[in-house]
Structure 1
Amino acid sequence: MDRIVGFGRAGLLGTWLALAGVAVPAAAAEAGAAPRWSFGQTPVWQDEFDYEGAPDPGKWGYDLGGDGWGNNELQYYTDKPANAFVGDGLLTIVAHRQRVSRRNDYTSARLVSRGKGDFLYGRIEFRARLPVGRGTWGALWMLPTDNRYGGWPRSGEIDIMEHVGHDPGRVHVTVHTQAYNHKVGTQRGQATRVEGASQGFHRYRVDWTPERIEGFIDDAPAFAFANEGTGPDVWPFDQRFHLLMNLAVGGDWGGAKGVDEAAFPAWMEVDYVRVYPLVESGQASPATAR
């Protein structure tokens, strides 16, 4: 019989449940075989953006401020409708050229599901149209909710999609850990050329199990990272993570070739966000299995 593994979701009063850990069936362990993983066909958490106005406050909060966000970024993140709104079946995040302070000449938005959608394993998929313009830095990604192993990068980061405007159409899928991160030149990631990434919508997802994180673009494999079994410095991905969607401006990477002021306002559109549960099965895997 299939069972859902390690998933946390909200109840009516905002109570969150997470199954912390996965037990390997005794028969599989004795045989030395890994368990079979599949993903449920019905989302356990989703936002289809089929409403009008502000993003659903039951699913999304905001990170606010403009201190550079660790990357010398130029934007100030707000919770204003001018920077994030839902209409015509889409979430639109808009970066405006708008002076807020001495260091912030732009405003934008960074939506987070922290405390409203926290997940341990699963299939996470976005359908999105990416921003245009030198200096834009759009991202669909995940961060640890509890930081069990300490601050970044010790507790990990999963980047489902990153796109910088000075390299249009090149999409990055990446993970960051204490052992593997760009600060020490060991980052694990892969870039894929996506034709029409800013002209049309494409699907960006990760399949996250206790053994692997795999990235896909329009169902085509784009990245893989294996659990080496050597501890949290390599694999901190055994704890709850939440979702983030943001459009940054400039920064060490996004602004590596400067910022085209004429490109603003710039925007990223998201058609949906869906999270499917990880299922452990001793029987034949369903159609959604990988």
Structure 2
Amino acid sequence: MNPSAVSSAVTPSGRTIIWRDEFDQPLGTGPDSARWSHDLGASGWGNAELQAYTAERANSEVVEDAAALNGRALVIRAVRDAAGGYTSARLNTQGKFSITHGRVEARLKLPRGQGIWPAFWMLGDGFGRVPWPACGEIDIMEMIGHQPGTLYGTLHGPGYSAGEGLVKFTELPAGTTFADAYHVFAVDWQPGRIDWLLDGKLYHTLTPSNLPKGAPWVFDDTPFFLLLNLAVGGKWPGYPDATTEFPQEYRIDYVRVYSLA
């Protein structure tokens, strides 16, 4: 265990953990199928991305990690194949766990490189029946690899989506990156308000008053499920170039969800 990281595991005052994955299953196994499902395929995923998502161990497995709190972590791995294509993994809890309001938190170590795009995010349970962005999307963490020290937190809904999403960023001190060490990314989500936090420090808040005139707040009437993925390429991060190294690893120490109080 990394002693300096112990404080990151402390339950927020007065809150109860209502769902968690510590990824403490045997080394070399995949994500717990009771908690996570794999999205599969190579459709571009609405963003002209390059990767094919798989359920193969080459793309998602539990590994030994001395910097993780319990000595192991889930790694999502983006790989370039011999033909020049890319594979990776995208996990979701749809139909297995969802929540309305609470703290949603993960301790993550991020990859880096041009065209690399890790995310930890949430979608409304209506996704698949309710068109995006009407279902709502809460992006807890996004990082684009050519900005390895910059964190983005974004809200998408009807009238404020894609390039018009409500976004704010925060940055690590100059010369440090999210690939150097684990950090804790979270949202505190309560009725009519969502706060974004990095290592316990608030950097972004949104309420219905921040929405475009007439746009609805779609974040209090339905549960949301969790997603973790590592994309390669896309309209926002751009595409890998000669400087991009593979494989790239996105490490997840834990995911925890707490009650509001």
The structure 2 residue matched to 1:47, chosen from 13, 21, 42, is 21
Alpha-carbon contact 1:205-1:215 (below 8 Å) kept: yes
Aligned twin of 1:255: 238
The structural deviation recorded for 1:255 is 1.5
Aligned AA (1:264): F
In structure 1, distance between residues paired with 2:21 and 2:40: 22
Matched, 1:161 2:161: no
Equivalences for residues 1-290 of structure 1 within 5 A:
40-52=14-26, 53-88=29-64, 89-98=72-81, 105-147=85-127, 150-183=130-163, 186-194=164-172, 195-228=176-209, 233-238=215-220, 239-255=222-238, 258-260=240-242, 262-279=244-261
Query: Which secondary structure state, in structure 2, belongs to the residue aligned with residue 139 of structure 1?
Result: strand
Deviation sequence 1:140-164 (CA, Å, 0-9, x none): 0001112498311112100000001
State the 1:87 CA deviation: 2.4
Q: Work out whether residues 154 and 233 of structure 1, in 8 Å CA contact, stay in contact via their aligned partners in 2.
A: no
Amino acid corresponding to residue 134 of structure 2 in structure 1: R
Write the letter of the residue equivalent to 1:64.
L
Read off the aligned partner of 2:185 and give its amino acid letter.
Y
- Give the TM-score taking structure 2 as reference length: 0.84
Q: How far has the Cα of 1:131 moved from its partner? A: 0.6
Offset, 1:181? 1.8
- In the alignment, structure 1 segments of 5+ residues that lack a partner are 1-37, 280-290
Rounded Cα–Cα distance in structure 2 between residues aligned with 1:188 and 1:168: 21
RMSD over aligned CA atoms reads: 2.3
Per-residue deviation, residues 143-197 of structure 1 (Å, max 9, x unmatched): 11124983111121000000011111111011111121234xx321111112331
Give ranges in structure 2 of 5+ residues lacking alignment.
1-11, 65-71
Supply the AA of the counterpart residue of 2:189. Answer: W
Matching residue's letter, 2:236: W
Q: Distance in 2 between matches of 1:204 and 1:198?
A: 14
CA distance in 1, matches of 2:44, 2:13: 37
Closer/same/farther in 2, CA of residues 197 and 216 from structure 1, 3 Å limit: same
Aligned residue pairs total 236
**Which shifted more, 72-81 or 186-195?**
186-195
* Identical amino acids, percent of aligned pairs: 42
Distance 2:241 2:134 in 1: 31
How far did residue 200 of structure 1 move?
0.1
Q: In structure 2, do the counterparts of structure 1 residues 232 and 247 end up closer, same or farther at CA, with 3 Å as the change threshold?
A: farther
Q: Which has the larger radius of gyration?
A: 1
Equivalent-residue separation in structure 2 for 1:200 and 1:190 (angstroms): 22
